[in-house]
């Protein structure tokens, strides 16, 4: 029979003092297994609060490494963690917060090949990711495995939270992510946090809400956000709740698929560096760029980041921020190779595709991995914000 130790009775005494919570629900937390996918902006606060609350087993899935720019909002990490895997660093930090719980890091990216195996032993899954392929992957895996999924997303000053695939009193599962978003958006139509920015405190608020939903699911307390989407506006501090319903005649989930292809990302990947295949974006690696620089080749290097990013670190390229590109087309050469870069390759890739489509450029190359890859692989002394 599961019980609380003397130390746990002290640690969780504020929970035990809650008449509506008490020992019974604290024991439910101790027996629960929760997987948090993404240990970044959303995952950090969710993991902190779930570990502190006494979730018996916490899984942490993240294949990314800590970057200096993460520290504005990813509160699990410090400067000492930069360059190290997020899942492993999260385990180390959380084990000091609560050594009485089991922590299982998965320092890898979840894919259709491994997701079902990773998720199968957990009671609740929390989505702390920031891209559409992984969101659809987690949703479909949870549907196939019969697991509830706590969704969260953030952008600029707005956050979203909902609960998908929760078992209802009649035994049926509540609506899932595909009922709310049946089709993924065009990859070029939705900016990410790197491009649009995000208020650093916002993921803390949304991640804490996700942790709250997970605890409600585990204990049965309150009313989870099943078939409801909570929209938080941090500027007004208003929370708007909208309802949605299953639309299962619009889709069928029978197996995991290629989610990058489903979300339209594969069509943007570079498969051939020929000038005749303009629908396929041409890319250049940081090693190839260094060779161009060292050889004295005549080419144009354009940086589409913002001025404050350029001031922090740059490759001596010509600064034309992304928003100024449409009015600066005449500054871009057509008679020699042009390499366009940003922080990670996302913004510059969008600009390469936009210029090719709208202005018929055929000499543009996106710097793969952006200045982050340069700092990582060419100049480790460079600090990129």
**Confidence bin at 85 (pLDDT 50/70/90):** very high
pLDDT in tens, 315-371: 999 999 887 888 899 999 999 999 999 988 878 887 898 898 889 999 999 999 899
Coil, helix or strand at residue 75: coil
Compute the distance between CA of residue 65 and CA of residue 81 in angstroms, rounded to an integer: 9
Contact 308, 301 (CB under 8 A): no
- 121 and 157 assigned to the same domain: yes
The count of structural domains within the chain is: 2
- 259 and 291 assigned to the same domain: no
In this structure, is residue 71 part of a structural domain? yes
- 328 and 194 assigned to the same domain: no
- 253 and 297 assigned to the same domain: no
Active site residues: 193, 342
Compute the distance between CA of residue 134 and CA of residue 37 in angstroms, rounded to an integer: 9
Enclosing domain of residue 328: 283-378
In this structure, is residue 329 part of a structural domain? yes
The enclosing domain of 327 has a CATH number of 3.40.250.10
Instruction: Please give the order of strands across the beta sheet that includes 300-303.
Output: 283-284, 364-367, 338-341, 300-303, 318-319
pLDDT in tens, 365-378: 999 989 999 999 99
Average pLDDT over residues 57-78: 96
Domain end point (choices 235, 263, 291): 263
In this structure, is residue 142 part of a structural domain? yes
- 252 and 295 assigned to the same domain: no
Average pLDDT over residues 185-192: 65
Q: What is the CA radius of gyration of the chain?
A: 23
- Tell how strand 300-303 and strand 33-37 pair up: unpaired
What phi-psi label fits residue 370: left (phi over 0), alpha (psi between -120 and 50 degrees) or beta?
left
Bridge partners, 36 (sequence order) = 60, 126
Lowest mean pLDDT among 58-72, 232-246, 262-276, 310-324: 262-276
- 195 and 333 assigned to the same domain: no
Longest CA–CA span in the chain (Å) reads 76
pLDDT in tens, 296-313: 999 999 999 888 889 989
In this structure, is residue 270 part of a structural domain? no
Which of these, 222, 379, 248, 265, lies nearest to 315 by C-alpha position?
A: 379
In this structure, is residue 10 part of a structural domain? no
pTM value > 0.85? no
Compute the distance between CA of residue 385 and CA of residue 371 in angstroms, rounded to an integer: 10
- 100 and 237 assigned to the same domain: yes
pLDDT in tens, 218-238: 999 999 999 999 999 998 898
């Amino acid at each position: 029979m599961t019980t609380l130790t003397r130390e746990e009775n002290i640690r969780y005494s504020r929970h035990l003092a809650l008449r509506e919570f008490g020992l019974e629900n604290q024991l439910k937390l101790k027996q629960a297994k929760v997987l948090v996918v993404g240990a970044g902006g959303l995952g950090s606060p969710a993991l902190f609060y779930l570990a502190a609350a006494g979730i018996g087993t916490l899984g942490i899935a993240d294949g990314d490494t800590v970057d200096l720019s993460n520290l504005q909002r990813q509160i699990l990490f410090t400067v000492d963690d930069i360059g190290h895997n997020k899942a492993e660093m999260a385990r180390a930090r959380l084990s000091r917060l609560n050594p009485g719980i089991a922590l299982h890091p998965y320092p890898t990216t979840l894919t259709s090949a491994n997701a079902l195996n990773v998720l199968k032993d957990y009671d609740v899954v929390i989505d702390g990711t920031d891209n559409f392929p992984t969101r659809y992957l987690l949703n479909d895996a949870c549907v196939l495995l019969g697991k509830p999924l706590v969704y969260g997303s953030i952008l600029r000053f707005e956050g979203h939270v909902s609960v998908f695939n929760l078992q209802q009193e009649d035994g049926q599962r509540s609506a899932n992510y595909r009922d709310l978003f049946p089709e993924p958006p065009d990859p070029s139509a939705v900016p990410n946090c790197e491009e649009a920015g995000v208020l650093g405190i916002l993921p803390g608020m949304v991640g804490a809400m996700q942790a709250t939903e997970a605890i409600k699911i585990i204990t049965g307390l309150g009313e989870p956000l099943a078939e409801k989407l909570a929209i938080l506006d941090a500027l007004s501090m208003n929370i708007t709740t909208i309802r949605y319903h299953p639309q299962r005649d619009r889709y069928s989930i029978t197996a995991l698929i290629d989610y990058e292809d489903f979300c339209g990302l594969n069509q943007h990947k570079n498969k051939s560096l020929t000038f005749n295949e303009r629908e396929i974006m041409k890319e250049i690696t940081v090693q190839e760029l260094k060779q161009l620089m060292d050889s004295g080749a005549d080419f144009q290097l354009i940086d589409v980041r913002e001025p404050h990013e350029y001031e922090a670190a740059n490759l001596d390229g010509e600064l034309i921020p992304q928003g100024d590109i449409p009015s600066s087309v005449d500054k871009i050469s057509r008679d020699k190779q042009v390499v366009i870069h940003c922080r990670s390759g996302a913004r510059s890739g969008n600009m390469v595709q936009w210029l090719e489509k709208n202005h018929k450029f055929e000499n543009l190359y996106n710097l793969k991995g952006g200045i982050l890859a340069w700092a990582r692989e060419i100049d480790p002394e460079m600090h990129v914000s």
